[in-house]
Amino acid sequence: MEHLLEVKDLQVSFDTYAGEVQAVRGVSFYLDQGETLAVVGESGCGKSVSVQTVMGIVPMPPARIKGGSILYGGEELSGKTDAQMEQYRGNEMAMIFQDSMTSLNPTMRVGRQLMEGILRHQRVSREEAKQRVLKMLGRVGIPNPENAFRRYPHTMSGGQRQRAMIAMALCCNPKILFADEPTTALDVTIQAQILELIGGLQEQFHMGVILITHDLGVVAKMADRINVMYAGRIVEAGTADQIFYHPSHPYTLGLLGAMPNLIQERKGELYNIPGAPPDLFAPPPGCAFAGRCKYCMGVCEKQDAPEFVTGDGHVSRCWLLDERGRQYRPEGFGGSAGAEGRRSDE
Amino acid sequence: MRKYIVRRLIISVITVWLIATSCFFLLRTLPGNPFQTTSLLSAEMVDRMMHYYGLDRPLWDQYVTYMQNLLRGNFGYSLKYAGQSVNGIIASTFPISAQLGLQAYFLSIPLGFLFGIVAARCRGKAVDYGLVGFSVLGVSVPVFILAAMLQYVFAIRLKWLPVAQWKSFQHTILPTVTLAFSSIAGRTRSMRTFMLEIVNEDYIKTAKAKGLSKYRVVWSHQIRNAVIPMIPTMGMEIVGMLMGSFVVEQIFAIPGIGNQFVTSIQNLDYTMTLGLTVFFGVFVVAANFIVDIVYGIVDPRIRVR
The verdict on a CB contact (< 8 Å) between A55 and B220 is no
Task: Look at residue B255 and tell me if it is in a domain.
Answer: yes
Per this entry, what is the length of chain B?
305
Judging contacts by C-beta atoms under 8 Å, the chain B residues touching residue A89 are 208-211
Task: Look at residue B109 and tell me if it is in a domain.
Answer: yes
What's the pLDDT score for residue B39? 64
Task: Look at residue A101 and tell me if it is in a domain.
Answer: yes
Picking from A221, A253, A276, the residue at the C-terminal end of a domain is A221
Task: Look at residue A304 and tell me if it is in a domain.
Answer: yes
The verdict on a CB contact (< 8 Å) between B211 and A103 is no
Judging contacts by C-beta atoms under 8 Å, the chain A residues touching residue B203 are 102-106
A157 touches chain B (CB under 8 A): no
Task: Look at residue A25 and tell me if it is in a domain.
Answer: no
ipTM value for the complex: 0.81
Helix B231-242 and helix B86-121, axial crossing angle in degrees, nearest 10:
140
Picking from A169, A192, A221, the residue at the C-terminal end of a domain is A221
Task: Look at residue A1 and tell me if it is in a domain.
Answer: no
- Give me the CATH number covering residue B230: 1.10.3720.10
Residue B285 has pLDDT above 80, yes or no: yes
Residue A340 has pLDDT above 80, yes or no: no
**Quick one: A191 and A243 in the same domain?**
no
DSSP classification of residue A154: G
CB neighbours of residue B226 within 10 Å: 24
What's the pLDDT score for residue A27? 87
What average pLDDT is seen over chain B? 86
State percent of chain B over pLDDT 90: 18
**Quick one: A49 and A151 in the same domain?**
yes
Task: Look at residue A131 and tell me if it is in a domain.
Answer: yes
Contact A166, A139 (CB under 8 A): no
A91 touches chain B (CB under 8 A): yes
Domain of residue A236 covers: 229-343
State percent of chain A over pLDDT 90: 1
Mean pLDDT, rounded, for A309-338: 74
Chain A nearest-CA distance from B145, in A, is 38
Mean pLDDT, rounded, for A131-157: 86
Q: What is the pLDDT of residues B201-212, one digit of tens each?
A: 889 888 888 888
- Give me the CATH number covering residue A336: 3.40.50.300
List all residues of chain A from 3 to 62 with a beta carbon under 8 Å from chain B: 52, 55, 57, 59
Judging contacts by C-beta atoms under 8 Å, the chain B residues touching residue A100 are none
Question: What confidence tier does A253 reach under pLDDT thresholds 50, 70, 90?
Answer: confident
Q: In total, how many domains does chain B have? A: 1
**Quick one: A176 and A250 in the same domain?**
no
Chain A nearest-CA distance from B11, in A, is 29
Q: In total, how many domains does chain A have? A: 2
Q: What is the DSSP string of B131-146?
A: HHHHHHHHHHS-HHHH
What's the pLDDT score for residue B111? 93
The verdict on a CB contact (< 8 Å) between A83 and B213 is yes
Task: Look at residue A17 and tell me if it is in a domain.
Answer: no
Residue B114 has pLDDT above 90, yes or no: yes
What's the pLDDT score for residue A162? 85
Task: Look at residue A6 and tell me if it is in a domain.
Answer: no
Determine the Cα–Cα distance for residues A71 and A94; give it in Å rounded to an integer.
Answer: 16
Domain of residue B165 covers: 96-259
**Quick one: A169 and A203 in the same domain?**
yes
Mean pLDDT, rounded, for A55-84: 82
Instruction: Identify the CA nearest to A51 among candidates A120, A5, A108.
Output: A5
Q: What is the pLDDT of residues B35-45, one digit of tens each?
A: 766 567 777 87
**Quick one: A199 and A317 in the same domain?**
no
Pick from A338-342, B53-57, B202-206: least confident? A338-342
The verdict on a CB contact (< 8 Å) between B203 and A105 is yes
Mean pLDDT, rounded, for A41-63: 83
Picking from A172, A194, A221, the residue at the C-terminal end of a domain is A221
Mean pLDDT, rounded, for B252-267: 86
Task: Look at residue A245 and tell me if it is in a domain.
Answer: yes
What ranges in B29-85 are assigned the alpha helix state H? 43-52, 59-71
Q: What is the pTM of this model?
A: 0.78
- How does strand A36-40 pair with strand A63-72? unpaired
Beta bridge partners of A211: A38, A179
Closest chain B residue to A94, measured at CA = B209
What's the pLDDT score for residue A49? 86
